[in-house]
Chains A and B, each alone.
Chain A
Amino acid sequence: MLNPLAAAPRRARRLDRAIAIAGGAASFSTLAVFGWIVWDLIRLGLPNLSWHFLTGEVETAGRSGGIGPVLVSTLLILLCCLAVAVPLGIGCAVWLSEFVRRGSRASRIVTGGVDLLASVPSIVFGLFGMTFFCQVLGLGFSILSGGLTLACMILPILVRTTLLALEGLPADLRPGAAALGLTRTTTLRQVLLPTALPGILVAITLGVGRALSETAALLFTSGYSTRWPDSLGESGRALSVHIYDLAMNIPNGSPNASASALVLLVLILLINLTATGLTERWTRHLSGTTS
């Protein structure tokens, strides 16, 4: 006779196995597609990759030659971006964490603004950057304009991650410093910021990764020039824009686009690994404090 107690588990086991297979397939295929993309980029890009490619001039609109000037422009755009975004973002986070009460109106308004900024699509940053930096401030299509536009874009990630780092500090550091008669400035400079440094580095690394992978915000701000840049006021093409242009606008640009995409991918992977490594160090660093 049918035993209901025996029947139920069998059905449950079958369902269990179905979930395992479906979930496993979903997980595996996600990672497999990732592997596929990487493999394709290596397959298409590696043959064109060489030292000369990394350092050479851009020739025939990118079809031949290298990406030397593009890498330099990218680096300069990144430096402009960080020079503005890092002080702004860290300053904002420090103010939110150390100088206003959490949940106060001022804190809610500023975090709300920063979170809204995070939701702005990157193409809109491009639109804004083109109008504000290039036209209103008269910077034209330049490395500076591109860097400033990116700075606006990575600001939220810097603020949020730095804030997380500061809020993750052991709570008793602050009264401890106050009880020794330290000013808030000294407490910040000598105690809190050095302790939060790994976390702040994570914030900067994430910002660099975001900035480096951005294309849309740079299309109409940093320009397309492929010459070696002489100054920040000149137009300069970022690596991501170079890939886009080669793939979309240059017939037979694909081989060099592949190699450029591979370079960008490797850079991003390195940056991500740095961020992961820093995060792990940071967690260990803090767990030493709590024991």
Chain B
Amino acid sequence: MSQLSVSRLSVRYGPVKALRDVSLEIPKGQITALVGPSGCGKSTLLHTLNRLTDLVDGCEVRGSVRLDDDLEITEATTDVLALRRHIGMVFQKPNPFPHSIRRNFEIPLREHGVSRANIPGIIERCLRDVGLWDEVSTRLDRSALQLSGGQQQRLCIARALALDPEVILFDEPCSALDPLASAVVEDHIAALRGRVTVVIVTHNLAQARRIADRLAVFWVRDGAGTIVETGPAANLFTDPTDPDAARYLSGERG
């Protein structure tokens, strides 16, 4: 069953075409990796899924993205604040708020109407989910900026989890981290399988091979990004049909 279905989606930034005619089914509870060279629209697709494209002036979205075969995400009347509660996001660079670790949870939770009494429990559960609880439980009131890069990124994942989203979007979550921290973060993303639908943009093919259930390969065709091949990750790595995708996945142009 599809959690998100993208069909015939095109996105442009002013005169620049970023995505053309993209269709993709993102199954529930699985990890879908979006791969391909830089500048072929992977991040744009990710930003369309939770309407962060709204923050970009002159960004024009056409086509359809449906959540649970029910809510049309691209519709102007969609309540984007509620939408973003259902579809969380983790960015390339860790971006905790420059407040205490606790405040990083309180701000979004209070905003979405969670009562104060429930917040400590949620903080503990989410920090345990990303393996951070034992490291920070005694210093929840210290600044989040004092954490290491990898810890900050796990905090951001925990913060996204706190809103109980059905989907979490990851935009190259490990590319700003050192290899060790990157491995830890990757393990925690993999552990989300089955509980949350994950869409991850990555430039690291080995990572995609390790964690992805499904793969979508992006390529620039006629001046705009599009998906040239999609399917179960295992099949795609062993037996791609598109020649560009085949060369890319075999590492010739990684």
Q: Which residues of A contact B (CB under 8 A)?
A: 101, 170, 172-183, 186, 190-191, 194-195, 285, 288-289
A179 proximity list for chain B (CB < 8 A): 50, 52, 84, 88-89, 91, 160
A179 to B157, CA, bound (A): 12
Known: A175-B52, A178-B52. A170 touches B107 (CB 8 A): no
Contact among B57, B99, B108, B143 for A180, CB-based, below 8 A: B108
Known: A175-B91, A176-B91. A181 touches B52 (CB 8 A): no
SS of A interface (majority):
helix
Assess the B99–A289 pair: CB atoms within 8 A: no
Which residue from chain B places its CB closest to the CB of A185 in the assembled complex?
B111
Assess the A180–B84 pair: CB atoms within 8 A: yes
Assess the B107–A186 pair: CB atoms within 8 A: yes
A178 to B51, CA, bound (A): 9
- Chain B, 130-165, CB within 8 A of any chain A CB: 143, 145-146, 156, 159-160, 163
A288 to B107, CA, bound (A): 21
Min CB distance B175 to A, Å, is: 14
Which residue from chain B places its CB closest to the CB of A196 in the assembled complex?
B98
Contact among A172, A174, A191, A285 for B107, CB-based, below 8 A: A191
B97 proximity list for chain A (CB < 8 A): 173, 176-177, 190-191, 195
Assess the B81–A170 pair: CB atoms within 8 A: no
Q: Does B177 contact A (CB under 8 A)?
A: no
Min CB distance B10 to A, Å, is: 22
B112 proximity list for chain A (CB < 8 A): 181
Contact among A175, A182, A288, A289 for B108, CB-based, below 8 A: A182
Contact among B98, B156, B160 for A289, CB-based, below 8 A: B98
Contact among B85, B91, B99, B156 for A181, CB-based, below 8 A: B85
A188 to B111, CA, bound (A): 13
A101 to B56, CA, bound (A): 10
Min CB distance B122 to A, Å, is: 14
Q: Which 9 residue pairs spanning A and B have beta carbons closest together?
A: A181-B84, A179-B89, A176-B95, A180-B108, A172-B95, A181-B85, A181-B81, A288-B145, A190-B107
Q: Does B93 contact A (CB under 8 A)?
A: yes
Assess the A178–B55 pair: CB atoms within 8 A: yes
A170 proximity list for chain B (CB < 8 A): 95, 98
Which residue from chain A places its CB closest to the CB of B143 in the assembled complex?
A288
Total interface residues on B, CB under 8 Å, equals 31
Which residue from chain A places its CB closest to the CB of B86 in the assembled complex?
A181
Q: Which residues of B contact A (CB under 8 A)?
A: 50, 52, 54-55, 57, 80-85, 88-89, 91, 93, 95, 97-99, 103, 107-108, 111-112, 143, 145-146, 156, 159-160, 163
Assess the A174–B55 pair: CB atoms within 8 A: yes
A170 to B145, CA, bound (A): 12
A136 to B195, CA, bound (A): 68
B82 proximity list for chain A (CB < 8 A): 181
Min CB distance A78 to B, Å, is: 31
Min CB distance A103 to B, Å, is: 10
Min CB distance A269 to B, Å, is: 31
B89 proximity list for chain A (CB < 8 A): 179
Known: A172-B95, A176-B97. A181 touches B55 (CB 8 A): no
Min CB distance A283 to B, Å, is: 14
A172 to B91, CA, bound (A): 9
Contact among B54, B93, B99 for A172, CB-based, below 8 A: B93
Which residue from chain B places its CB closest to the CB of A190 in the assembled complex?
B107
Assess the B83–A181 pair: CB atoms within 8 A: yes
A194 to B170, CA, bound (A): 27
Min CB distance B95 to A, Å, is: 4
Assess the A195–B95 pair: CB atoms within 8 A: no
A101 to B88, CA, bound (A): 26
Contact among B55, B81, B95, B156 for A183, CB-based, below 8 A: B81
Min CB distance A195 to B, Å, is: 5
A36 to B98, CA, bound (A): 45
Assess the B145–A180 pair: CB atoms within 8 A: no
A77 to B97, CA, bound (A): 37
B88 proximity list for chain A (CB < 8 A): 179-180
Which residue from chain A places its CB closest to the CB of B146 in the assembled complex?
A288
A173 to B85, CA, bound (A): 17
Which residue from chain A places its CB closest to the CB of B106 in the assembled complex?
A190
Assess the A182–B111 pair: CB atoms within 8 A: yes
A180 proximity list for chain B (CB < 8 A): 84-85, 88, 107-108, 111, 159-160, 163
Min CB distance B163 to A, Å, is: 7
Min CB distance A165 to B, Å, is: 13
Min CB distance B24 to A, Å, is: 20
22 A-B pairs in the complex with CB atoms less than 8 angstroms apart: A172-B95, A173-B98, A175-B52, A178-B52, A178-B54, A178-B84, A179-B52, A179-B88, A180-B85, A180-B111, A181-B81, A181-B83, A181-B108, A181-B163, A182-B108, A182-B111, A183-B81, A186-B107, A190-B97, A190-B103, A191-B107, A288-B98
